[in-house]
Amino acid sequence: MILSASIIASDAARLGAQAREALDAGVDWLHIDVMDGRFVPNITVGPFVVNALRPLADETGAKLDVHLMIEEPRRYVDDFIAAGADLVTVHVETCTRLHRVLAHIRSRGAMAGVTLNPGTPLSAIAEALSGVDMALVMSVDPGFSGQKYIPESTDKIRRLRDMLDRTAPRAWLQVDGGVYAGNVREVVQAGATVVVAGNAVFGGASIADNVQALRKAAAPEA
């Protein structure tokens, strides 16, 4: 399991320190949620945060995993890649020319991901899967950290895993939303290879203990 820590749940006043602490504790990637107040009812960060985290990612070998929850993502893809994004994920709901956007991301040297809201059927991204490095299942309605996992997401993960195995077997399957130690094994067993965790990493007293608990819970039973 690749563990991608969602910085939206960190203490913004100590973002750099908490990001380093998470990586030191065993997190693999940093997940950067970009929200514009239009596609989702929240506003978060821009390329400047990606740029600020780039030296830490270079030092630790982490990937900067940028999730664009914004209208007209094609207008901003270049800015995020120039700032240092390793992987850029866009929503099918915001891309009328999805194949073109994904191809452009790859042409700029970044990896391309595609995702969809919980209420959007997998058929909406089926024709694009051969051109992605990662497909993301949103297991909450995007916009805010700390929401509860939508139970029906598990079957959606299984179905997407089957689609990827037939179309893009080397692509990652990421799951984002409401994942914690109590359900992470279910998510991984359904087929997820990358798990996004926000409060489950940054909440409570100890980031290191949180990461250890996620790792232990995700491990196959002996």
List active site positions. Answer: 33, 176
The position carrying tokens 């409060």 is 199
C-alpha 205: how far from its chain's center?
24
Count other Cβ atoms within 10 Å, centred on residue 147. Answer: 15
CA dihedral 167, 169, 171, 173 (to 10 degrees): 90
Which residue type sits at 136? L
**Do 80 and 34 form a contact (C-beta atoms < 8 A)?**
yes
Alpha carbon of residue 21 to chain centroid:
19
Stretch (H or E) spanning 30? strand 29-35
Which two three-digit tokens encode residue 107? 């042409």
How far apart are the C-alpha atoms of 185 and 203, rounded to whole Å? 19
Distance (Å, rounded) from C-alpha 209 to C-alpha 218? 14
